[in-house]
Structure 1
Amino acid sequence: MPDPRPLSRRLLVGSALAGAAVGVPAWLAAGPSARATATRPARPTVATLDRAALTAALDAHRAERGGTMGLAVHDLRTGGRFTWREYENETLSTVKVLILMACLKKVQDTGEPFTQARHSQARRMIQASDNAATDALLAWVETSNVQRVAQQLGLTSTTVRGGGPAGGDTWWGYSTSTPSDLVKAVDAMVTGTPVIHGGHRAYIRHLMAGVVPDQRWGVADPPLPSSAYTETKNGWGPLPDGYRLNSIGRVLGNGRSHTMAILTRSPEGFRYGKQTINGLSKIVYDALAQPLAPE
């Protein structure tokens, strides 16, 4: 005698599948997990920066221009980092950012006021790259304290000099660093650090955003769209084995958000080197139309 109880929907489907019933879709026969996959809309694939292509473009620029160069980039949208031909170079005036960080660290640690005179020196040091103002601030904060701040920021490949005349072995301009270390310093001001508090970081970035126009090259290369916001500090000067042109800073806007440091040695002086470093910056800027995926 047949069982009078109605069959459940689940048993009906199972029975139909077992008998390979006509009209049962393959996705249904595959079971619940496959059905969920089949009905879920596919996530769009986001194109990311081609690291090999960027490296090739930078290599081609170096082969064309000559000289020594290296850079580091941190894409703040994704956390991705890219380095190319990392090496150690004299910082020239890029170290002024570290000097100002150490000054503000001293203010917050000791309570000593940052006087109007020192505000004026800081503005001239960052925005016009005034060396006399730098000498005064470094004498006040002391070289050892700048080195201590560098260590607290994790700048393990940075050596801060100071106390000697311009062009001498102990001159602050001949401090040494690498692109990755200098990017860490910029990152600290942009994304935060326990070394100095937010108000002081914003103050430094405000000054870097107001660098005089003829010193806005490299990371803030003027061929970038005018709508791009930049904070920068550059350093430059002659040495026997190549004119140093270095640039650090931040770029924001037009779909970009990154920090970068570029170090170079130009074989043919300042003007040629400026064109070279601007070319590096533009190559990276164009490439970052696509996000840099973390490795």
Structure 2
Amino acid sequence: MPASQPVSRRVLVSSTLTLVGAGFALRKPPETASAKAGGAAAPAAPSPSVVPTVDRAALTAALEAHRTARGGTMGLVVHDLRNGARFSWREYTNESLSTIKVLILVACLRKCQDTGVELTEKQHGQARRMIQSSDNAATDALLAWVGTPAVQQAAGLLAMSATVVRGGSAGGWWGYSTTTPADLVTLLDALAVGTPVIHAGHRGYIRHLMSGVVPAQRWGVADPPLPESVYTETKNGWGPMTGGYRLNSIGRVVGDGRNYTMAILTRSPQGFRYGRQTVNGLSEIVHDALVLPL
């Protein structure tokens, strides 16, 4: 598949996050004893204001309703980087398909750090095609260079304890590596927040590539749809397998009052297009809820 230019949705937004009410019910502070009694309340010492948060029960109910309507298997994890809170829903282990390409690139860049070499111009082109247009031949070449054991080691260093990397001497195809939403969010957080596994320049390089994924592959986390002002980094994976077409979406969303990482894993009973709509629906439900912090 030919390489493409990065898409234009790269507007870095202000870190000031405005919280406004939306379709999810707010949690309210309990009534004071004096208020319950109907009497005049004694002057109270100033207390910190209560920040409204997402009603997790309502969010879960909305996701469950979507799952019931669409069918198939699905699970997700979202990490709100505004306050560090996480939300998990129906987590399970799925084949990674092309989401593993982000971890492969992490392993390649760690090898560069450990050996003092740099990626060649050809390898930079392979990395760009691997992430931005999901080129499998480019992935094969980079995995052959770094080695499957190095990718598994990178997963271990990042505390992706449920991820099993396949390919080459490990047997099977790299797309049949298995992982969980929590592990993929751990990977995204390492790139977004920091990790000793690779330095900041290499993290920025991966995130730059993830921000330029071709439009046709920007469904799921990066396309609920989002306002034009929102900045996203993403990588999706998809392919037919027994038990349902696998469609996975990972990424980071910054802007429109949000700042979060999320991983969605699914198995569609009716193929790619139907499954893509299902993933988009899950992403939209979470994005709408995160007008408030978790």
Fold shared per TM-score above 0.5 = yes
Larger Rg belongs to: 1
- Which residue of 164, 176, 179 maps to 2:178? 176
| Pairing 1:115–2:120 present | yes
The whole-number CA distance in structure 2 between the counterparts of 1:95 and 1:45 is: 40
Q: After the TM superposition, which parts of structure 1 deviate over 6 Å for at least 4 consecutive aligned residues?
A: none
Q: Which residue of structure 2 lines up, in the alignment, with residue 85 of structure 1?
A: 90
Q: Which residue of structure 2 lines up, in the alignment, with residue 73 of structure 1?
A: 78
The whole-number CA distance in structure 1 between the counterparts of 2:57 and 2:51 is: 18
TM-score w.r.t. the length of structure 2 is 0.84
Q: Which residue of structure 1 lines up, in the alignment, with residue 192 of structure 2?
A: 190
Q: Number of aligned pairs?
A: 253
State the shift of 1:247 in Å.
Answer: 0.5
The whole-number CA distance in structure 2 between the counterparts of 1:238 and 1:102 is: 27
State the shift of 1:224 in Å.
Answer: 1.5
- Which residue of 155, 158, 172 maps to 1:153? 158
Larger relative CO (CA 8 A, sep 6+): 1 or 2?
Answer: 2
CA contact (8 A) 1:89 1:177 kept: yes
Q: Which residue of structure 2 lines up, in the alignment, with residue 278 of structure 1?
A: 280
Q: Which residue of structure 2 lines up, in the alignment, with residue 130 of structure 1?
A: 135
State the shift of 1:39 in Å.
Answer: 6.9
The one-letter code sitting in structure 2 at the alignment partner of 1:112 is V
CA contact (8 A) 2:60 2:89 kept: yes
The whole-number CA distance in structure 1 between the counterparts of 2:111 and 2:177 is: 20
3-state SS of paired residue (1:38): coil
State the shift of 1:163 in Å.
Answer: 1.7
The one-letter code sitting in structure 2 at the alignment partner of 1:225 is P
Q: Which residue of structure 1 lines up, in the alignment, with residue 226 of structure 2?
A: 224
Q: Which residue of structure 2 lines up, in the alignment, with residue 269 of structure 1?
A: 271
Instruction: Describe how 1:222-261 pairs up with structure 2 within 5 A.
Output: 223-261=225-263
The whole-number CA distance in structure 2 between the counterparts of 1:73 and 1:230 is: 14
State the shift of 1:40 in Å.
Answer: 4.8
State the shift of 1:45 in Å.
Answer: 2.3
State the shift of 1:222 in Å.
Answer: 5.2
The whole-number CA distance in structure 2 between the counterparts of 1:100 and 1:169 is: 20
CA contact (8 A) 1:123 1:207 kept: yes
The whole-number CA distance in structure 2 between the counterparts of 1:81 and 1:42 is: 26
TM-score w.r.t. the length of structure 1 is 0.84
Q: Which residue of structure 1 lines up, in the alignment, with residue 28 of structure 2?
A: none
Q: Which residue of structure 1 lines up, in the alignment, with residue 36 of structure 2?
A: none
- Which residue of 207, 210, 228 maps to 2:209? 207
The whole-number CA distance in structure 1 between the counterparts of 2:229 and 2:176 is: 34
Label 1:206 to 1:248 Cα distance change in 2 as closer, same or farther (>3 A): same
Q: Point out where structure 2 has 5 or more consecutive residues left out of the alignment.
A: 1-41
3-state SS of paired residue (2:262): strand
The one-letter code sitting in structure 2 at the alignment partner of 1:209 is S
State the shift of 1:251 in Å.
Answer: 0.3
Cα RMSD for the two superposed structures: 1.5
The whole-number CA distance in structure 2 between the counterparts of 1:291 and 1:113 is: 40
The whole-number CA distance in structure 2 between the counterparts of 1:50 and 1:69 is: 21
Q: Deviations over 1:165-202 (max 9, x none)?
A: xxx96100000000000000000000000000000000
Q: Which residue of structure 1 lines up, in the alignment, with residue 110 of structure 2?
A: 105
Q: Deviations over 1:134-180 (max 9, x none)?
A: 0000000000000000000000100000128xxx9610000000000
The whole-number CA distance in structure 1 between the counterparts of 2:112 and 2:171 is: 29
The whole-number CA distance in structure 2 between the counterparts of 1:150 and 1:230 is: 23
Q: Which residue of structure 1 lines up, in the alignment, with residue 18 of structure 2?
A: none
The one-letter code sitting in structure 1 at the alignment partner of 2:68 is A
Q: Deviations over 1:111-148 (max 9, x none)?
A: 12211000000000000000000000000000000000
Q: Deviations over 1:89-122 (max 9, x none)?
A: 0000000000000000000010122110000000
